[in-house]
Structures are given as C-alpha cells and as structure tokens.
Amino acid sequence: MSPKQLTPDEFSPHYKPYIDKVEQDTDLLDELEISLHKTIHFVQDIPMDKFDYRYAEGKWTIKEILQHIIDSERVFAYRALRFSRSDETPLPGFDENKFADVVNPTANKRHLKELLTELAAVRHATIMLFKSFTEEDLLKKGIASNNVMSVRAAGFVIIGHQNHHVAVFKERYL
C-alpha cells in the first residue's frame, strides 16, 4: 500500500505536508524500514559540532529533534494500535512543545549513539506493529486531536514526519 492510495477522509489536512514527503509509489512497510536506515546513515555523517547547534533562538538542536521524532513516532504508533483495535474513544492531541520542555534538557546530554539506538528500537517496534495489521486493520479509522485518521495514514505520517525533519537538518543545520 502506498500514500497515493490514501483518500482525503483518512487524515486531517494538517498532515498532508508530511504525507507528501513520502514517495507516492512506495510501500508502507518497505518505507518504514528504508527511511529508518537512510536517516541513521544521514545523521551519523553529520559533524559532531552540529548536534548542539541551534540555527535561531528558541529552535531545537539536532539531538532535541531526534528525541522529538522518537516521541512523535510513539504517539502515532499508539494511535494506529488503538484505531486498529476498533477503539472508538477519541484520543487527545499532544503538545510537542510541552514534551520538548520536559525532555530537551536531557536529550542534549545523551550520546548520539543512544538516541539513534532508541530511534531504531522504536521503529522496529512500529514495523512489527504494522506487520501485524491486516488489510482491514489498515483501513480502520479513529479520532485523534479532533480529527479522523486511518491506521495506514498514521504509518505514512510517521515516515513523512521523519523525512520532514531530515530535510530541515539539511536546510538549516548543515
């Protein structure tokens, strides 16, 4: 299944820029794996002096963004799990800035290897979760942040969100 198969009723327009960052002919499970490896290799090639760099006042460092990617993936994978199990309970949104306020002071103290290992562990758990879904499960929808989202859309948002931040690294940090 590819992003071009998504219908507009499967996600909020807020997530379209992320979904657009995923190649339209790519397979969800394949891209979950491929994008992880691409990101890890890319980040490993960033000069060490850039990991604590902020391109502007109040902007996150690369380490803080890696932590943000990890946290966001956990949130979207949890949403996918709940929706796949036909849980009709509306899920609240999450405030990425409040998460960052709590975790960013420690994110910058972590070793890069530790952050990348956690990113890989979270992604592997996400891949196993998505591998467990049937075609029917992937089409199920739920409510999060007062918006409808399908299970498969959540998967593509995970990939596109990560791709978005890699593009930001290239444009503003290097």
Task: Tell me the pLDDT tens digit for each residue of 75-123.
Answer: 999 999 999 999 999 999 999 999 998 998 899 999 999 999 999 999 9
| Domain 3-45+59-173 indexed as CATH 1.20.120.450 | yes
What are the φ/ψ torsions at residue 121 (nearest 5 degrees)? -65, -45
Two tokens, residue 13? 């327009």
* Residue 69 pLDDT class (50, 70, 90 cuts): very high
Query: pTM (2 decimals)?
Result: 0.96
Please enumerate in sequence order all residues whose Cβ is within 8 A of that of 94, keeping only pairs 6 or more positions apart, or say none: 75, 145
